Structure 1
Amino acid sequence: MNYKTPLFVIVFYSLLCIGNTKLIAQEKNASDLIVLIETYDSLDENTEKDEVLRKIKDLVKNIPKDSLEFIVKHYDFNFIARFAMADYYRLNKNHDLAKREYAALEPEILSKRPIDYILLAHVVWASSINISLKDFSYEKGLKTLYKGLAYSEQSKVDRMTMKYHSNLQFYNTSSSNFDKSVYHNKKHYEYAKKLNDSIQVVLALKTVMINFNYVKNSESALEIWRQIQPIYKIHRSKFPVPSALLTQVTRAFINSKQLDSAAYYNAECFRLDSIQGNSFRDCYNILYKGIILQDQGNADEAKKTFLSSYELAKKNRNNLIQIKSAAYMAQILLEENEHNEALNLLRENYSISDRKRSLNKAEYELLLSKAFEATNKLDSALYYRNKSDRSFEAENLDIHAKQVAIAKAELGINELLDENENLVSTQTDLDKRMAKSKTTTNVLLYALITIVILTSFFIYRRNQKEKLRVSQYREELTNKERIAIEAELNTIRSQMNPHFMFNSLNSINEFIQNDSSEDASNYLVKFSRLMRSTLNYSKRKFVTLKEEIDLLKLYIELENLRFYNSIDFSLTIDPSINTEKALIPPMMIQPFVENAIWHGLMAKENERKLKLTFSENQQHIICNIEDNGIGRTASAQQKAQKPKHKSQGIGLTQRRLELLKSIHGNEAGIEVIDLTENGTGTLVKVILPKQLKE
């Protein structure tokens, strides 16, 4: 039976009786829905079915529930009508009903032959975004999305498959599955290129920018922006939330300390969100404005701005911005000696940070420790430093995983950027030709000639690239290996922080256990200075030799406090070395000094001597660490009698030296020499490639 005619009669009768413009539009949507339901089964191509299903999703937003229920009743057992009803429930946040409808539809569609895979892909997609917050989990979402991806691939509808890869990238990132996240983002990009969808190309590359910003690689993030900026300029009016992209651009410029550019793009974010009336995004914009002001040295304005972002984030329940704004405010308050106010603010918001691993928990706990230390609550300060240590380890594992994933895959980043450059050129030329074609027939002729010339140029360029491919192949491999090595170096530098802090906190703990509260307090103050330097240095590829020596002197001073100033320490620096210009990787010497103290001198009862000597030759900085401790043999025997503890500092540093040798080609390594025949006393020679500050 054909229900179309009586349904239209009812629709028009309603319009005549009510005469309401809004209702006219609603009933028009209902009529269109009827046409789509009746048309769907007659379609052969899955791409056409996909378009119908997308139109249905748009229509059900604006159909009254009574009209929709009436349609579903007349099209009972029709999958498309039931899908429309389930989507209505989803859009109106009736999660339980929507979930039940989607769950019932899937097995019924699977039982019918031939199987309608594109409808299955839409059903599973809708159910994957229907999980309410009360029972939300990334594990459930991933399981659902992978099932839907399989259906979508069976349907061979590229646009739907692209959507699945995009969402799988997000879910895997949030679940710390970085290898899979990079893989799905690459697939998202490839499908966007295949569909010639410039918006999706930019969105896929935006994710690459987010990854680079996450691991503080601002140079690569800005390189991505330089490539996609021409596409963005052409299509910016089509972006649903353009400020989300420009926020990442702002963040990259902040990380690279290009504050004028950061301020420009931050202002552009404010302008775009104001046009769209998107007050939720202002939380992000105000926060980044505060960071820019703080980096410019304007602490007073920065504090007011962070307060504004904090209050707006709290109002909008944006936990990420709330916790970050609180941390930045607290940092300024601590610098202004408003210790109690900083402590109260941090404690008020800690519960949010504690349950959200992604909210820079380690830095937040470190600020709490500093606030407790500043208010002379040393037990609490030590407690939160220990928690911060553990959180840093967890966050460093995430950073390491993401760095390795980027270094391994790099999204084929060099090739991707080359391809994208061509895409930009082609898109720009195409838009120009289309604009000219609207004027006169003569311009069409010129455009055709331009196409021929451009095609010839691209063919020529492709041939030239082909000729160079063999000669460039090895160089490309070397570049990718270098990226991977630098990523691993970044990771190892990050891992040195928690390792070093853990050992230092053990010293404080011993003072406290021995009731030496004054010594513990003095130690804690010095340790705070040392850790601040360590954290700052660990983010940098190189520090000056002077900075490294200052850090070493402070560390040895701390350890000497522990041994009641029993270590006779001497330092000799070759006068030919310009310590303010010579650059070395940070924290390279400290693990060997620590090893000399803890495993050589600590076991000795008297006359503890430690000598550091720095010299140079044409290509290297050489550091000798000499102690008169018990020697390697006796130390190994003592370790064998103690519970096993895996010390990572020396191993990490040795790996760093190996990687430095790979990058620079110059010798980098260590040499260990026993100083006496009976095995007492040790000399460690550390050889580092020399860099000079420009």
Structure 2
Amino acid sequence: MPYAALVLLEPLHKESKDIGDFFITSSIFINTGWAYTKVGEFDKADQFIQEGLEMAQNHNMPSNVVAGYQKLSDLERERGNFKEAYAYFKKASEFEKEISSATNLRYMNDVIVRYEAEKKNNQISVLAKENEIVRLRLKKNQTTLLVSALIVGLVASILYILYRQYQNKNEKRVLSLEQNMLRSQMNPHFLFNSLNSIKLYIINNEQKNAVHYLNKFSKLVRKILEASSQREITLAEELETIELYMNIENIRFSNEIDFKITVDENLCPSNIKIPSLALQPFLENSLWHGLSPKEGKKMIHLNVKRKSQNHVSIEIEDNGVGRGAAEANKENRVLKRKSVGIRITKERLANFSKDYQNKFDVDIVDLFNTDGSPKGTKVILDIPTI
């Protein structure tokens, strides 16, 4: 496994640096050091872990700093330097405590600031009422004008504050959705399945196939990282990413899945933009729940059609076991996997539609044979275009 990890991680060193995401780069270097530790190349392991740790420290990435110290502790333990291993372990523990203390301190400061703000708002309200009484006593003939001006100003201020709070909350929510989306695309199950499949090619001495699929896997990881930093991409780029993803996943199914993409002739995918990485969770759901337990011929067809001037319809049809059987299989599994990717994608599509004042629809249709037996599932996405 460490050798396979090195095969995956080493090509990503330059790619991650070029992207400029120091969090990803730091993680890649630290995990490369871990892999070298497991294969016994301790000097290289120390070099990579130290470089990743320094990057995390310089760019204020607490979780990666903790991971770096933990990996250094593992390295020194493998070397037999138990004193140094304990020292690094102690540093990791202390840093975790500092992170927790800082989080608690920020929370308390936030509570205090909110309390003070509420207190000041109450004082302002009291002063405004007193001022109104004074004005009523001094200038009765100007009461209506002054009160109106005060109310207008107060309402405008409150509306502005509420708008800013809503805007900040929405921005944080969108950012959280994008981060969750990236984690769902790069889930460990998919990564380990892909690496294990490539490892089998290496074990079977199928070097050409191993290099071919390793290149595809690296390209897919790069595309996912690039797309995750963009709010929307062209449909052509999305379809290219999906095709790479299906090529990788098809290794697990011994290349027995008939995957096909069909695009209407009157559509130009390069001129249509959709939310980035919106289709992969639905394909993953078809693979995991529909086709994985199915025996015999397996297929997934993706059809892109123009529904109206401002909407495009994307249909994902499979010939899996159907949602009823999939749900029963899911209950019988020891490892129950939640389809969080679909929920996240629906929320991202809702935000995307709201910004462009268009609606979106996601419809899941159960397919049946003439005798009433299930023959698969069809997902229909009605997505607004830009």
TM-score bracket for this pair, using the shorter chain length: 0.5 to 0.7
The Cα of 1:505 is off from its aligned counterpart by 1.1
What does the per-residue CA deviation read over 1:110-129, in whole Å, with 9 as the maximum and x for residues that have no partner? xxxxxxxxxxxxxxxxxxxx
Return the match for 1:618 from 281, 285, 309.
Answer: 309
What does the per-residue CA deviation read over 1:512-544, in whole Å, with 9 as the maximum and x for residues that have no partner? 675754556543332221111101111111111
Q: Aligned AA for 2:191?
A: L
The Cα of 1:608 is off from its aligned counterpart by 1.0
The Cα of 1:553 is off from its aligned counterpart by 0.9
Relative to structure 1, the CA distance from residue 602 to residue 344 in structure 2 (aligned partners, 3 Å threshold; closer, same or farther) is same
Higher helix share: 1
What does the per-residue CA deviation read over 1:150-198, in whole Å, with 9 as the maximum and x for residues that have no partner? xxxxxxxxxxxxxxxxxxxxxxxxxxxxxxxxxxxxxxxxxxxxxxxxx
Q: Aligned AA for 2:48?
A: L
Residue 670 (str. 1) matches residue 362 (str. 2): yes
Q: Secondary structure at the match of 1:511?
A: helix
Specify the alignment match of 2:348 in structure 1.
656
Q: Confirm or deny: 8 A CA contact 2:275 2:349 kept in the other structure.
A: no
Distance across 1 between alignment mates of 2:211 and 2:62: 27
Return the match for 2:185 from 500, 523, 543.
Answer: 500
**Equivalence map 1:281-430=2 (5 Å):** 346-352=48-54, 358-359=60-61
Residue 532 (str. 1) matches residue 218 (str. 2): no
Relative to structure 1, the CA distance from residue 658 to residue 649 in structure 2 (aligned partners, 3 Å threshold; closer, same or farther) is same
Residue 577 (str. 1) matches residue 267 (str. 2): yes
Relative to structure 1, the CA distance from residue 475 to residue 495 in structure 2 (aligned partners, 3 Å threshold; closer, same or farther) is same
Return the match for 2:295 from 572, 585, 605.
Answer: 605
Q: Secondary structure at the match of 2:269?
A: coil
What does the per-residue CA deviation read over 1:333-367, in whole Å, with 9 as the maximum and x for residues that have no partner? xxxxxxxxx9985344245468899438769x9xx
The structure with higher relative contact order (CA 8 Å, sep 6+) is: 2
Return the match for 1:490 from 153, 158, 175.
Answer: 175
Distance across 2 between alignment mates of 1:558 and 1:536: 18
Distance across 2 between alignment mates of 1:550 and 1:510: 23
Q: Confirm or deny: 8 A CA contact 1:667 1:689 kept in the other structure.
A: yes
Residue 637 (str. 1) matches residue 325 (str. 2): no
Q: Secondary structure at the match of 1:580?
A: helix
Q: Secondary structure at the match of 1:504?
A: helix
The Cα of 1:685 is off from its aligned counterpart by 0.7
Q: Confirm or deny: 8 A CA contact 2:198 2:213 kept in the other structure.
A: no
Amino-acid identity (%): 27
Q: Confirm or deny: 8 A CA contact 2:319 2:377 kept in the other structure.
A: yes
Q: Aligned AA for 1:493?
A: E
Q: Secondary structure at the match of 1:346?
A: helix
Q: Secondary structure at the match of 1:680?
A: strand
Q: Aligned AA for 1:650?
A: I
Q: Secondary structure at the match of 1:646?
A: coil
Higher strand share: 2
The Cα of 1:464 is off from its aligned counterpart by 7.7
Q: Aligned AA for 1:495?
A: N
Relative to structure 1, the CA distance from residue 481 to residue 354 in structure 2 (aligned partners, 3 Å threshold; closer, same or farther) is closer
Relative to structure 1, the CA distance from residue 611 to residue 549 in structure 2 (aligned partners, 3 Å threshold; closer, same or farther) is same
Distance across 2 between alignment mates of 1:618 and 1:478: 32
The Cα of 1:674 is off from its aligned counterpart by 0.8
Return the match for 2:253 from 553, 563, 566.
Answer: 563
**Equivalence map 1:40-439=2 (5 Å):** 346-352=48-54, 358-359=60-61
Q: Aligned AA for 1:656?
A: R
Relative to structure 1, the CA distance from residue 362 to residue 527 in structure 2 (aligned partners, 3 Å threshold; closer, same or farther) is farther
The Cα of 1:581 is off from its aligned counterpart by 2.5
Q: Secondary structure at the match of 2:270?
A: coil
Distance across 1 between alignment mates of 2:263 and 2:64: 37
Q: Secondary structure at the match of 1:685?
A: strand
What does the per-residue CA deviation read over 1:30-85, in whole Å, with 9 as the maximum and x for residues that have no partner? xxxxxxxxxxxxxxxxxxxxxxxxxxxxxxxxxxxxxxxxxxxxxxxxxxxxxxxx
The Cα of 1:678 is off from its aligned counterpart by 1.8
The Cα of 1:686 is off from its aligned counterpart by 1.4
Specify the alignment match of 1:546 in structure 2.
236
TM-score, normalised to structure 2, is 0.58
Q: Confirm or deny: 8 A CA contact 1:614 1:624 kept in the other structure.
A: yes
Q: Confirm or deny: 8 A CA contact 1:353 1:360 kept in the other structure.
A: no
The Cα of 1:498 is off from its aligned counterpart by 2.3
Q: Confirm or deny: 8 A CA contact 1:568 1:608 kept in the other structure.
A: yes
Q: Confirm or deny: 8 A CA contact 2:194 2:249 kept in the other structure.
A: no
The Cα of 1:621 is off from its aligned counterpart by 2.5
The Cα of 1:551 is off from its aligned counterpart by 0.6
What does the per-residue CA deviation read over 1:125-162, in whole Å, with 9 as the maximum and x for residues that have no partner? xxxxxxxxxxxxxxxxxxxxxxxxxxxxxxxxxxxxxx
Specify the alignment match of 1:681 in structure 2.
376
Q: CA RMSD in A?
A: 4.5
What does the per-residue CA deviation read over 1:244-265, in whole Å, with 9 as the maximum and x for residues that have no partner? xxxxxxxxxxxxxxxxxxxxxx
Relative to structure 1, the CA distance from residue 605 to residue 510 in structure 2 (aligned partners, 3 Å threshold; closer, same or farther) is farther
Relative to structure 1, the CA distance from residue 636 to residue 470 in structure 2 (aligned partners, 3 Å threshold; closer, same or farther) is same
Q: Aligned AA for 2:260?
A: S
Instruction: Could you tell me which runs of 5 or more consecutive residues in structure 2 were left unpaired when the two chains were aligned.
Output: 1-17, 33-43, 68-95, 115-147
Relative to structure 1, the CA distance from residue 470 to residue 356 in structure 2 (aligned partners, 3 Å threshold; closer, same or farther) is closer
Relative to structure 1, the CA distance from residue 689 to residue 357 in structure 2 (aligned partners, 3 Å threshold; closer, same or farther) is same
Relative to structure 1, the CA distance from residue 361 to residue 621 in structure 2 (aligned partners, 3 Å threshold; closer, same or farther) is farther
Q: Confirm or deny: 8 A CA contact 1:569 1:609 kept in the other structure.
A: yes
The Cα of 1:662 is off from its aligned counterpart by 3.9
Q: Secondary structure at the match of 1:645?
A: coil
Instruction: Could you tell me which runs of 5 or more consecutive residues in structure 1 were left unpaired when the two chains were aligned.
Output: 1-293, 296-319, 331-341, 366-393, 413-462
Return the match for 1:592 from 282, 293, 298.
Answer: 282
Q: Confirm or deny: 8 A CA contact 1:482 1:663 kept in the other structure.
A: no
User: How many residues are treated as equivalent by the alignment?
Assistant: 274
